[in-house]
């Protein structure tokens, strides 16, 4: 890209200046000190590039030490904040407001912005946050560093900067390899499986890309074009059998959405992806009338196991808890008499889990939070919709369709955000009122 060539050119010019300057070339801390205090463009980009290279060479212990340096040496000055706050409280002038805003902003943000000037600065910052996230569960002292990183990455990866690209068999090999690597919902079984998902009349794949990471998908969605809402992922993933009659394709099923960059966790652009994909599909195929997902329910079995382990729980009578122990058998789903007894119970439990189990005011299930927050409704539960090992382990083989009704999406979105209301079809409401 032109911008990267320019940055590399300026960085090379700056490195000539670096060679004549006295500095400790071996410590990332010293490089950051110089970068933070530097005002020149060429030298600044060269220093940023040196920091990026130095960070890539750190081992885990050195990265941890570096993050602690960021936490201690690049935090705001509390005394300065207090003085500026007092001044603003007295005068409420624009100058006092600006001084307070500057005092409150962490010096880390200035440093991070300058590191981002490097040709591979954005990649470095995403990698840096991925490494940092792995440390947070054991070290609360680093959360302020993560707050600053997430704040800046949220701005740099604003959906307005992202480009929606159609991914097909003609896409660059480097991108195709990453689709196989990053697929998080239904693992791809090699190149033939990938080709089936990309190079067919009834399949589409779309991804968001950022100008600074042109060959790195941030998130991608796989779409099946079918005659009606699908109930089984195995039928979608099966090899194509014969020609597809295009006029019969009335429904778009989003069957896999994969985030590709762990360092961007908590920065949401999946909702923008779905909405843009819907608009593009409608332009390409005006006959499409339904847009729905075929989604996993990743937290269902974990929640159910907690219920079963709780001796004080009142949700299930003893006869039901005894029946549910059959789920521990690896082949329970192949016993037709057993599944006939389990189906009504599990369908009711899953509907209860999706609609009534909450974390605060939001659904407990992460996929439900995502789609319902986007304005979708819980349309249907699908019995044994995913009989892969993963599907059986995480949701007892159940899948859910979230439907995106274009005429009701905004109304559902507002009701969910403002009142915590979950839009459900009559079929799902009926499930909630029965206990098998």
For residue range 344-376, what is the model confidence (pLDDT) as tens digits?
Answer: 999 999 999 999 999 988 999 999 999 999 999
For residue range 257-306, what is the model confidence (pLDDT) as tens digits?
Answer: 999 999 999 998 888 899 899 999 999 999 999 999 999 999 999 999 99
- CA distances in angstroms from 432 to 124, 356, 375, listed in the order given: 48, 9, 21
Q: Is the pLDDT of residue 19 over 60?
A: no
The pair of three-digit structure tokens given for residue 95, joined into one six-digit string: 């100058």
Q: Is the pLDDT of residue 432 over 50?
A: yes
CB-CB contact of 291 with 402 (8 Å): no
The whole-number pLDDT of residue 12 equals 55
- Angle subtended at Cα 187 by Cα 182 and Cα 188, rounded to the nearest 5 degrees: 90
Q: How far apart are CA 235 and CA 237, in angstroms?
A: 6
- CA distances in angstroms from 402 to 207, 238, 373, 405, 409, listed in the order given: 20, 22, 11, 10, 11
The whole-number pLDDT of residue 6 equals 46
Q: How far apart are CA 401 and CA 44, in angstroms?
A: 51
Cα torsion for 133, 138, 140, 146, to the nearest 10°?
Answer: -10
CB-CB contact of 153 with 84 (8 Å): no
Q: Is the pLDDT of residue 42 over 90?
A: no
Instruction: Write out the catalytic residue numbers.
Output: 295, 371
Stated length of the chain: 436
End-to-end CA distance of the chain: 60
CB-CB contact of 380 with 428 (8 Å): yes
Closest CA to 206 of 148, 243, 254, 241: 254
- Tell me the mean pLDDT in the region 313-330: 94
The three-class DSSP label of residue 329 is coil
Average pLDDT, the chain: 91
The pair of three-digit structure tokens given for residue 134, joined into one six-digit string: 């792995």
The whole-number pLDDT of residue 268 equals 85
For residue range 45-71, what is the model confidence (pLDDT) as tens digits?
Answer: 999 999 999 999 999 999 999 999 999
CA 134 to chain centroid: 16
Give Cβ neighbours of residue 402 (< 8 Å, ≥ 6 apart): 292, 293, 295, 368, 371, 372, 376, 377, 378, 379
Q: Is the pLDDT of residue 221 over 70?
A: yes
Q: Is the pLDDT of residue 14 over 60?
A: no
The whole-number pLDDT of residue 433 equals 87
Helices of type H across 208-335: 233-237, 270-284, 300-309, 318-324
Quote the radius of gyration of the chain (alpha carbons, Å): 26
CB neighbour class for 90 (10 Å; exposed up to 12, middle 13-18, buried from 19): exposed
CB-CB contact of 398 with 385 (8 Å): yes
CB-CB contact of 186 with 159 (8 Å): no
């Amino acid at each position: 890209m032109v911008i990267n060539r320019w940055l590399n050119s300026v960085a090379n010019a700056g490195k000539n200046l670096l060679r004549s300057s006295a500095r400790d070339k071996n410590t990332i801390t010293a490089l950051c000190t110089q970068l933070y205090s530097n005002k020149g463009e060429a030298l600044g980009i060269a220093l940023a590039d040196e920091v990026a290279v130095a960070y890539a060479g750190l081992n885990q212990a050195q990265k941890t030490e570096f993050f602690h340096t960021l936490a201690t040496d690049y935090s705001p000055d509390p005394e300065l904040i207090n003085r500026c706050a007092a001044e603003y409280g007295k005068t409420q002038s624009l100058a006092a407001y600006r001084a307070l805003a500057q005092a409150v902003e962490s010096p880390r943000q200035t440093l991070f912005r300058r590191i981002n000037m490097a040709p591979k600065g954005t990649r470095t910052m995403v990698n840096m946050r991925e490494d940092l996230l792995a440390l947070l569960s054991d070290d609360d002292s680093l959360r302020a560093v993560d707050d600053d990183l997430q704040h800046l990455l949220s701005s740099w990866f604003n959906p307005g900067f992202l480009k929606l690209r159609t991914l097909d068999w003609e896409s660059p090999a480097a991108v195709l390899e990453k689709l196989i690597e990053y697929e998080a919902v239904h693992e791809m079984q090699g190149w033939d499986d990938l080709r089936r998902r990309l190079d067919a009349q009834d399949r589409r794949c779309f991804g968001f890309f950022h100008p600074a990471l042109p060959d790195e998908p941030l998130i991608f969605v796989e779409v099946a074009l079918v005659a009606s809402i699908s109930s089984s992922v195995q039928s979608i993933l099966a090899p194509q059998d014969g020609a597809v009659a295009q006029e019969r394709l009335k429904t778009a099923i989003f069957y896999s959405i994969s985030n590709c960059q762990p360092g961007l966790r908590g920065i949401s652009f999946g909702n923008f992806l779905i909405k843009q994909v819907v608009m593009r599909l409608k332009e390409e195929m005006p006959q499409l009338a339904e847009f729905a997902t075929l989604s996993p329910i990743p937290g269902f079995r974990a929640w159910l196991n907690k219920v079963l382990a709780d001796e004080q729980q009142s949700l299930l009578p003893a006869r039901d808890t005894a029946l549910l122990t059959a789920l521990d058998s690896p082949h329970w789903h192949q016993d037709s008499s057993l599944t006939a007894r389990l189906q009504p119970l599990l369908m009711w439990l899953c509907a209860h889990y999706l609609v009534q189990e909450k974390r605060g005011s939001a659904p407990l299930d992460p996929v439900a939070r995502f789609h319902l927050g986007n304005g979708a409704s819980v349309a249907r539960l699908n019995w044994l919709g995913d009989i892969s090992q993963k599907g059986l382990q995480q949701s007892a083989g159940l899948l859910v369709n979230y439907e995106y009704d274009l005429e009701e999406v905004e109304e559902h979105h507002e009701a969910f955000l403002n009142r915590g209301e979950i839009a459900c079809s009559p079929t799902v409401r009926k499930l909630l009122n029965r206990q098998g």
